[in-house]
Chains A and B, each alone.
Chain A
Amino acid sequence: MTPVQAILSGGLQGYILVALLLFVIGLATVLLRRTLLMQFMGVELMLNAANLALLAFGRFRGGEVQATAFYLFIIGVAACEAAVGLALVVVLHRLRESTDADRADLLKQ
């Protein structure tokens, strides 16, 4: 089976490709958008891409339960990151009346 056929029929290559493209889109969102909330969503997208790759490898290495256990811990950490990150965005908006990442440059001046 050629790689392209494997991707179209849902082989391991297909999942890894989707995960990598998802990661690239998330990275582009973080790098190119200026709104902090959009950048935050880009980070979530990258985390999801990593989870997808982890579970795809878990499935194709004989249905490892270990991968799902790690996935559980990863989303626990992601939830913590979401709570603290959004609290920081709220405080920044209160201080500067803006959610633009370029305007939070006090440390640079």
Chain B
Amino acid sequence: MFLVFALITLLGALAMFRQRNVVVAGLCMVLTFFGVAGLFVLLANPVAAALQIIVYSGAIMVLVLFVIMLLNSHEEEPAQSGRLVQAWGGALLAAVLGVGAVKLVLQSRTLHELGASPVPAPITLNKLGVQIFSEHLVAFEVVGLLLLAAMIAAVSIAKRKL
């Protein structure tokens, strides 16, 4: 099962990267988010999987797709200038990071030792609620305030006349 969801995630992300049409790229992104949600289920964490599907595949991607269709710019515009150095530099950096990451994961002893731990009991909404409201109450309230501030900011930025 792990391989299936890992492949869904990575192939969805690669398809998004390669895709010229922004709407199709958004749909590939939804596929990636579902793959990540599947990986969360395999990590004994159904709460995070549900949140992932509701917030990312639901809310954020609907927002992105609405903006894409609102702006009516579905294809990438032709480049103004070549900027070859930046393009090859970016590709090289990503490739070096990717190879380095694979090497690091394969060699790491700490990951190997941690990986031997037994499967824990799944995270339930009950445990999460107790944790949030007993230890992270201030952070929870701050996040609520931050969401309100972001909503007001988004409206005031995007509106022509307040």
Contacts and interface: CB of A to CB of B under 8 A. Distances in A.
A43 to B, nearest CB: 11
Contacts, number: 245
A78 B149 CA distance: 13
Contact of B112 (A13, A25, A52, A84): A13
Of the four ranges (under 10, 10 to 19, 20 to 34, 35 or more), the interface on chain B belongs to 35 or more
13 contacts: A13-B115, A14-B6, A24-B97, A29-B16, A34-B77, A55-B45, A59-B45, A69-B132, A76-B143, A78-B60, A82-B64, A83-B150, A94-B160
Contacts of A103: 77, 80
Interface of B: 1-3, 6, 9-10, 13-14, 16-17, 22, 25-26, 29, 32-33, 36, 39-40, 42-45, 47-48, 51-52, 55-56, 59-60, 63-64, 67-68, 70-71, 73, 76-77, 79-81, 83, 86-87, 90-91, 93-94, 97-98, 101-102, 105-108, 111-112, 114-115, 117, 120-123, 127-128, 130-132, 135-136, 139-140, 143, 146-147, 149-151, 153-155, 157-158, 160
